[in-house]
Amino acid sequence: MVEEYTRLTKKVLDWSIKASYGFHALLFIVDRMPFFACAVSCLAQFAYSRMLKRFPFIDFTSGEFLGSLAAMGATHWVWVRHFHSTYHSTEYVLGFFFMIVWFVPFGFFISIAANESVLPGGATVPGAPSSGNLGGYDPNRGGGKKTRNALLMLLDTLKLYWTRLSERFMPKGGIPGTYRDTHQKGW
């Protein structure tokens, strides 16, 4: 849905950020939540709203994205610290985190899939495979089906680094005593 309706997704995220400002005001006034925690959360919402200017294109090295990550970490820290010092049920804390802390960042996380597939013809990234249309639609592959997106590219990169790391530190033939080791010995 996010890939097909990017304008609607942007509007939903914008209204979610605005509603979050209202929720934080109510949390401070009605529930007497700490001012510092509410202020940090509002600053995080402001950081998320800065990312909406170029939505659905999210640059992982931009100041807006890095600031949003820092703001999300700060928001988690202040609310975990608050709930650690007070008693609330687990359901309350999880519901609070889902609605107040995670809702907007989760919307941006889901929209990463739309980052590279909004317009036809993807960009080429240094170090990517030469045939690599990393986003959009490639008429030469599958008649217009989506080929790759940013989330899959990130997962492929993590898999590559994990493989290199495991090859460097694992003994040849696998770990002694595992299935792979006993199977090679013919047990």
- Domain regions of the chain by residue span: 6-115
Tracing tokens 């639609």 back to the chain, one arrives at 137
Nearest to 57 by CA among 130, 97, 14, 117: 117
In sequence order, the β-bridge partners of residue 146 are 137
Q: Where are the alpha helices (DSSP H) in the chain?
A: 6-29, 35-51, 63-85, 90-96, 103-115, 150-169, 179-185
Instruction: Give the angle 9-13-19 at the CA atoms, nearest 5°.
Output: 140
Encode the chain (187 residues) as per-residue pLDDT tens digits: 666 677 887 888 888 899 989 999 998 999 888 899 999 999 999 988 888 887 777 777 888 888 889 999 999 999 988 988 888 788 888 888 988 888 888 888 777 765 555 554 444 444 444 444 444 444 444 444 444 566 667 777 878 887 887 777 776 666 665 555 455 555 5
Query: Are 23 and 99 within 8 A, CB to CB?
Result: yes
- Whole-number pLDDT of residue 62: 82
**What pLDDT is recorded for position 179?**
53
Q: What's the CA gap between 180 and 166, in Å, rounded? A: 15
pLDDT given for residue 108 in this prediction? 80
Alpha carbon distance 79, 32 (integer Å): 14
User: Residue 85's CB: how many other CB atoms inside 10 A?
Assistant: 8
Q: What is the pLDDT of residue 13?
A: 86
User: What's this model's pTM, rounded to 2 decimal places?
Assistant: 0.57
Please give the Cα distance from 39 to 74 (Å, whole number): 11
Q: Which of 104, 152, 135, 118 is nearest to 3 (CA)?
A: 118
Q: Which of 73, 35, 72 is nearest to 50 (CA)?
A: 72
The pLDDT of residue 65:
86
